Chains A and B, each alone.
Chain A
């Protein structure tokens, strides 16, 4: 018998939870107790286990969607049952039919006009007051000014938006008279889904793969002299977000040269002390810690741009770039200033480890006021980065290298690093930025402060 899996109440009084990811695919056979999805609330991430034996017929919500407790998230059919059973179940539950293409079995199509039961179920699905319906999403939409305006949209666009809890009223429409079309909704969905996956600006992209043999022109075909590679979703997201940042956020740049000898020496001592514990502090951890200290010292820079407000934060949350095989991720390290270097190192090591295994969760990619981007390992001397909105700024760190410095009128060798701040002038003015960078430099050059 077909069954619906519903969103459980993970903590008391929780009214909704985010279905972070699916751990199974449509068509998979599952058994009672098998983990099938990761669900997160504001406080917890848990595995959702199946209460049914059967085959996953279809998902009723997209990963990342916020779902009301009790709402169906997936349909499971018994082995040997066809999709009709699920259709009937959904019809009787008044639920959605699930995102197109998600069904694990071919959806039935009415083959006889007199046999209009599927049509009926579609209609009842349409009218069904699913708790996760788009109407609910629209009612809670912040776009209050448009509440009473008629939004023109195609039926298909409305359905896709509803299935993805997207407020269709917030979208621009490209059809006649601004009618919102499928492509408009899909564009918005692509943006939403991949927003989180945008790498730190100016980080190198994944290494360009060696051209595969299939991409070499066939011997008898004329070589075109170029190769078009269609944009991946991530590539499109990077392009969109960074274009938006660079064209809307007024960037300005401040560079400081930081003498790193003391910091590197301190790090060696720390790591010697940690020998055998498995713990290890990286230069990047110490840079994060120094930026955390600087933002504590200059709290007016610990902010984000909110369009009609500047939001100041009590804790310092910083995004760090991590390269993975699947692409670059920028998880946010929480409360950098409030934790010791050891705890911070463990946190960043855990993030790097999970990033490598694809286990970073959606909420870990959100938030923060500044990012740190580091190209030092490639020998880059200095560079400026593009801000990751709505952050107030980003610090781009070059290589630590031996340079000739003048000290007390004498030439001397020192290990130097150039760090460049890109700041959003809407949030941070020049003097404030300079104050922040002075504090950052001071902490790095007096590394005991990092340990505090």
Chain B
């Protein structure tokens, strides 16, 4: 007879409520700040909706009206150095964090938001929402991407749940900062760390997406000082939370991940404040992550100045009920009840705030001379210069130069070493030099250096900076992104197989690739992503891709593909010197290859954006990278009819590709063969061929020829895999095509 006993999920989840005594005991200055901030956010949001109604907000205006209390109550429990990030509905969190940063001592009824710095902050926030050059991100981010790093506002995010892993990175950095600081100060290694904390705000919609749930687990596993602040406003656009989850007590998700959790009335700013204060204490003391579900309500639809009932997914009655619980009124009425203010003073405060905001709006708008109806328009001079459309895509590191350290190639005595050992030693060298280098990925801390040995010895030397991750590529890649955005850490992420980039695609492409540009260059993004290509290893359709062709289409990423161990060290070191995300492509075929590597190679640095001519020649320029360089050279040596120049591209992305070397060669040879191993569909060569034909059309004596694998991803079966990938015979066929098109003896095998 099977027996069943209740499983004790020991992590508590509690409902926190306030009563009149709590309000009576609340600090006056806290309530003053609450009232000023909630009023200010409400009036600001009304101004934004009004501008949206006039068609002056390009894109959506996701109003936070109704939810002000959740953000204000939460932020007031934080220190200025604590970090916050949020989602597309983030004006209230951003404003609260900014006000609190500028007035850490609290805001006063007398001043409201008067004050040059407060006015300037509000003006810059509105400018950003309107897409104007004076915005924090120069108008690039707009309503959904508000970032002010100085104030600890790490950036709001338009991908639902997308900001959650990034917040985990900030939290990891805060805890590591605290550990390092205590270590440096020689303090006792006992007692609470008193770390900084990060709060990531998201909604009920984001509580069901993988990046959030993955990060729940990751933060809990690593005890990160990260608060998951869930503003449950009940609707994901028009979808009711009960429609899409079996457990609508969203706070109940925390204990399943071992996360201390609270549920609180989000319309009660004091309750939120008290819950947040408890959560902060828990985190600063090293208790790990926390979750707060604040039950709240947006008074309007997803975006724009109309109520949700106008769209039929909820009733006016429901809206009226929630409006009776208005958080701004709640704070005001409690203060009036306590005799801290009068009705008139409250109205007067609101009026004064409104005047400040109206003045700001008046400063960015003017009468539209083309309008017959007296409409307003944005003051034209405030738009950003369209010339700068591509600015801040990446750092301005100079091409052709070594970015740090010595330019001299290593000249130490050569010893036979395996390629993969040079990877581990180079990483070890950088970790020893730079306490900001953090290695993370699946199994990187075990198995004597991960599945291939590329991180051998690192965990023993730096146990706190070699992080074996859960199988959650999106979360740990995003965590690396958040780490990098701090500017203090340089994460080195390992993808065990390149195909996993699709699993992490949001963090890789939407977040890491776009962040610097989207936020107007406010933060850099020094993520190094080591990604293994396992073509030929029999791992089949989902473990064999070459990621280069995909990454080349993502503007933020730089790409290096080392073909030799010495180049690996040189390129990895330069990648770690860059403030940009860099994909370092590795091939399993090269890991075991032994070659004579000079001593001191770990310090070797190659200049940014320099290709290597592996074999000079005059008849055709063969462009390749990674393992296929050696194949191309081997075939070039066989040929009697063609004197091929083989160029190892090394740097593959749009910004770093060595056009000087490629152009010089093509202008001389007038023929181009691009050699890669992987399938035609995601081929890098397609992109490269297009660039070449547009830049060098008049120098081409035949179409650009390409060697690629076949259409499908390689199969497990050895013969099918061999047939799917390009091999030496495919390279020979490519050379034959070149020869044939030159009217030489070669036969076109296409």
Contacts and interface: CB of A to CB of B under 8 A. Distances in A.
Interface string A158-188: 1100000000000000111001011100000
A159 B691 CA distance: 19
Give me the 4 closest cross-chain CB pairs, A-B, nearest first. Answer: A174-B743, A109-B663, A159-B698, A113-B654
Contact of B701 (A113, A123, A156): A156
Contact of B400 (A111, A122, A175): A111
Nearest to B668: A100
Interface of B: 390, 393, 399-400, 609, 654-655, 657-660, 663-664, 667, 670, 691, 694-695, 697-702, 740-743, 748
A154 B702 contact: yes
Contacts of A181: 701-702, 742-743
Contact of A119 (B609, B695, B699): B695
5 contacts: A100-B699, A112-B655, A156-B700, A157-B701, A182-B670
B695 A122 contact: yes
Of B694, B699, B741, chain A has the most CB atoms within 10 Å of the CB of B699
Given A100-B699, A181-B742, 15 more contacts: A109-B659, A109-B664, A110-B659, A111-B400, A111-B659, A114-B390, A114-B654, A114-B655, A119-B694, A157-B701, A175-B701, A175-B702, A175-B741, A179-B702, A181-B701
Contacts of A159: 698-699
Contacts of B400: 111
Contacts of B701: 154-157, 175, 181-182
A298 B394 CA distance: 84
Contact of A156 (B660, B699, B740, B741): B699
Contacts of A382: none
A112 B670 contact: no
A342 B493 CA distance: 94
A203 interface: no
A107 to B, nearest CB: 8
A113 B655 contact: yes
A126 interface: yes
Contacts of A157: 701
B742 A175 contact: yes
Interface residues of A, number: 24
Interface string A426-452: 000000000000000000000000000
B697 to A, nearest CB: 5
A175 B700 CA distance: 13
Nearest to A181: B701
A398 B698 CA distance: 53
Contacts of B741: 175-176, 179
A195 to B, nearest CB: 24
A186 to B, nearest CB: 11
A122 B694 CA distance: 9
Nearest to B667: A100
B743 A111 contact: no
A112 B659 contact: yes
A156 B691 contact: no
Contacts of A109: 659-660, 663-664
A307 B654 CA distance: 56
B399 A112 contact: yes
Contact of A126 (B664, B670, B697): B697
Contacts of B695: 110, 119, 122
Contacts of B742: 175, 181, 183
A427 B660 CA distance: 57
Interface string A84-127: 00000000000000001000000001111110000100110010
Interface in A328-374: none
A119 B698 CA distance: 11
Contacts of B700: 154-156
A175 B609 CA distance: 35
A242 B198 CA distance: 89
A155 B702 CA distance: 8
A230 to B, nearest CB: 15
B106 to A, nearest CB: 47
B138 to A, nearest CB: 18
A175 B701 CA distance: 9
A110 B670 contact: no
A154 B399 CA distance: 32
Contacts of B743: 174-176, 181, 183
Interface in A126-174: 126, 154-159, 174
Contacts of B660: 109, 111
Of B655, B670, B741, chain A has the most CB atoms within 10 Å of the CB of B670
B347 to A, nearest CB: 54
A110 B743 CA distance: 31
Interface in A165-223: 174-176, 179, 181-183
A244 to B, nearest CB: 21
Given A175-B702, A182-B670, A111 B609 contact: yes
Contacts of A112: 399, 655, 659
Nearest to B670: A156
Contact of B659 (A100, A113, A123, A174): A113
A123 B697 CA distance: 9
B18 to A, nearest CB: 56
Contacts of B658: 111
A429 to B, nearest CB: 42
A183 B700 CA distance: 12
A198 to B, nearest CB: 26
Contact of B698 (A110, A111, A126, A176): A126
A85 B303 CA distance: 53
A174 B609 CA distance: 38
Contact of A176 (B659, B670, B697, B748): B748
B152 to A, nearest CB: 32
Of A111, A158, A175, chain B has the most CB atoms within 10 Å of the CB of A111
Nearest to B697: A155
Nearest to A100: B667
Given A156-B670, A176-B741, A181-B743, A122 B702 contact: no
Contacts of B697: 122, 126, 155
Contacts of A114: 390, 393, 654-655
Contacts of B657: 113
Given A100-B667, A154-B702, A156-B698, A113 B740 contact: no
Contacts of A154: 670, 700-702
Contacts of B609: 111
Contacts of B667: 100
A113 B691 contact: yes
A126 B697 CA distance: 10
Contacts of A175: 701-702, 741-743
Contacts of B702: 154, 175, 179, 181
A155 B670 CA distance: 10
Contacts of B691: 113
Nearest to A174: B743
A122 B698 CA distance: 9
Of B667, B697, B740, B748, chain A has the most CB atoms within 10 Å of the CB of B697
A176 B400 CA distance: 39
A391 B654 CA distance: 60
Nearest to A153: B701
Contacts of A155: 697-701
Contacts of A183: 742-743
A109 B743 CA distance: 29
Contact of A111 (B393, B399, B748): B399
Nearest to B698: A159
A154 B655 CA distance: 29
A156 B697 CA distance: 7
B476 to A, nearest CB: 31
A114 B657 CA distance: 11
